[in-house]
Structure 1
C-alpha cells in the first residue's frame, strides 16, 4: 500500500510519511490568549495551515488537542509607540473538520466545508482598551469595554501544486466598539520547510466601519484637548500588513511556534490624533504539547 502524498518545501508532490507535516500545519493554530485584542497579527495567523491539512490528507484525526504557554511583545494599542510584554496560555482543540475551541480563532463551527475550503462562524473575545491604564495620550477618552466578538469567515486553498490559502473574515463586536472590522488575506508555505520545521508568509488588508473607527481612533468634542483635536474618522481601509508564522517540532509531541507581523495604518487611522506611530509590529513565541 502506497504512502500518502504530501507537499514538499520545493512545491512538488512526493510520497512520504504525512503525519509530522500535517501536525505541523495545525500546530500553528495554537495562538496566545490575547490574540483577539487588537494587534498587528493578521487573522490568518491564528489558523495558519488548517485548510492545507485537509488538502494533503484523505482523513484527519477525530480530535486534535494542543496546549501550552506563550509570550508576546506588542504595542499598548494600535497606533501606540509604546510596547508591552504579555503572557498567557496557548490552546487549540479541534474535532474533525466540524468544530474548534481556539484562543486565536475562538469557539466556532465550520458550517460549510469541502476538501480545500471551509466557511463558518465563531465567537471570540476582545479585551478592549482602558484609557487610563494604556497611555497618557488617552486621558479623558472613554474606555472600550471588553466584549464578545462574533465572526464570519471563509478560507480557500488553491491546490496541492500551488498551496496558496486565501481568507476573508468579518467580525462584529457585541459591545465595546459595537463596530465591524474584517481582514482579506493570503499566505502559503515558504521554501525551506521540512518535516519538523514549517513557515508561512503572506499579506493582509484590514477594513473597518465608521463605528469601529470612531471608537478606536475618533475624538469627540468633549474629549478634545490641546494637542488632541476633535476627529471623526470614516470607515474604509484601516491598515495593510504582512506576517510570518513558523513552527518547529523538537520532539514527537513538543513544538514551538513564533509569529512576526508588521501593520501599517493608513487613511483616517493614520491621521488620528491618537496615533503616535502609524507602523506597529508584534512578535510572539509559544511552547506547546500536542496530545
Structure 2
C-alpha cells in the first residue's frame, strides 16, 4: 500500500511538472528563456546553458513559500503579512526544440515576467471610504538582464489587465557578492513606472468618489511616468543541497503623480517590503 502511495505521489509531481513545462514551454521557446518570474523574482537563467550540470534531467524547477510583509495597498501606511509562492524554472530541455537555462547566471538573460496585485476593497480600509473597489490586477511581460561576476542590470515591462490596465515595469541594478559558494547577496537601486491608465486606477479620484468621500478626497487624474524609486536587497543561502533560504527587502518612495495622489497623502509615500521564505530545487527526467 505504501509503495502504491509513493508511486501515486511521484506521478502527481511528474504530471504537475509536465504541465508547467507545457504551459511555459512556448514562452521559453519564443523568448529563449527559462524562467518564470513570480512574486519572488530571481534573475532568469542565461541563454547559453550548461546542460551537463543536470545529467539526465530535462526539467529543473524550484518551488517554495515566503511570508511577505508589504503595505495593505500602494500608498498605505498600514502593513500586512501574506504568504507568497516561490516558483522558478532553472532549466528545461524540450526534444526537437532545445535546452534553456543553466546554473551559471552570468551573461545576457531574457525571460517572462509576471506580477499580481490583489483586490483593493474600500470597505476594508476606513481611510478609503467613498472610493470604488479595484479588482485584482494581473501583469504579463518580459524581463531582461545582464550579469557580470559582481554586478547586474535589469529591466522588465509588463501589460497589466483586470482591475487596472496599462503598461508597468521596473529597472534597476545590483552589486553582487558571493562570500561563499552557498551564499549570494545582492543590493542596488530600483525604479518603477506605469502608464496613465494603470496609475489612474490606483491613485486617481473621480468626481463621484470625491463626493462620496464627503470631501476628504479631491478629484484627481494622475498621468503616467515613473511611479517609485528606491533600493532593494536580497540574500539567498543553500542550507542543504537543493534547499534554499531566500530573504528580500526593499524601500520605495512614491514619486511623480503617484506621490501627489490624495490617496497617498492620506497614507504614506514611503513603502517598505520584506520577505523570508524557503524553497527547494527539483530535477525530473520527463522525456
Q: If the length of structure 2 is used for normalisation, what is the TM-score?
A: 0.71
1:178 aligns with 2:174: no
Structure 1 residue 67 displacement after superposition:
1.9
Counterpart of 2:182 (choices 196, 208, 220) is 196
Any gaps of 5 or more consecutive residues in structure 1?
Answer: 1-28, 36-44, 99-108
The Cα offsets for residues 265-288 of structure 1, whole Å up to 9 and x where unpaired, read as 112211111111111101110012
Counterpart of 2:134 (choices 144, 147, 152) is 144
1:277 aligns with 2:251: no
How many residue pairs get aligned? The number is 232
User: Are 1:55 and 1:115, in contact at CA under 8 Å, matched by a contact in 2?
Assistant: no
Name the counterpart of 2:217: 228
User: Are 1:77 and 1:129, in contact at CA under 8 Å, matched by a contact in 2?
Assistant: yes
| More divergent stretch after superposition (86-95 vs 192-201) | 86-95
Instruction: For residue 274 of structure 1, give the secondary structure of its aligned residue in structure 2.
Output: helix
Counterpart of 2:109 (choices 118, 129, 133) is 118
Any gaps of 5 or more consecutive residues in structure 2?
Answer: 1-34, 95-99, 283-287
User: Are 1:60 and 1:96, in contact at CA under 8 Å, matched by a contact in 2?
Assistant: no
Name the counterpart of 2:251: 262
Structure with the largest fraction of helix: 2
CA–CA distance in structure 2, aligned partners of residues 270 and 218 of structure 1: 11
Counterpart of 1:154 (choices 129, 144, 154) is 144
Name the counterpart of 2:199: 213
How much is the aligned-residue C-alpha RMSD, in angstroms?
2.9
Structure 1 residue 164 displacement after superposition:
2.4
Name the counterpart of 1:40: none
Name the counterpart of 1:106: none
Instruction: For residue 197 of structure 2, give the secondary structure of its aligned residue in structure 1.
Output: helix
The Cα offsets for residues 172-215 of structure 1, whole Å up to 9 and x where unpaired, read as 1122211211111111313x621121111121111111111111
Please say which structure displays the higher CA radius of gyration: 2
Counterpart of 1:89 (choices 69, 77, 85) is 85
CA–CA distance in structure 2, aligned partners of residues 97 and 273 of structure 1: 50
Counterpart of 2:42 (choices 26, 44, 47) is 47
1:244 aligns with 2:233: yes
Assess, with a 3 A threshold, how the Cα gap between structure 1 residues 56 and 243 changes in structure 2: closer, same or farther: farther
Structure 1 residue 60 displacement after superposition:
5.2
User: Are 1:54 and 1:60, in contact at CA under 8 Å, matched by a contact in 2?
Assistant: no
Q: If the length of structure 1 is used for normalisation, what is the TM-score?
A: 0.70
Structure 1 residue 89 displacement after superposition:
3.2
Name the counterpart of 2:67: 71
CA–CA distance in structure 2, aligned partners of residues 233 and 277 of structure 1: 17
Assess, with a 3 A threshold, how the Cα gap between structure 1 residues 172 and 74 changes in structure 2: closer, same or farther: same
Instruction: For residue 129 of structure 1, give the secondary structure of its aligned residue in structure 2.
Output: coil
Assess, with a 3 A threshold, how the Cα gap between structure 1 residues 46 and 123 changes in structure 2: closer, same or farther: closer
CA–CA distance in structure 2, aligned partners of residues 145 and 60 of structure 1: 43
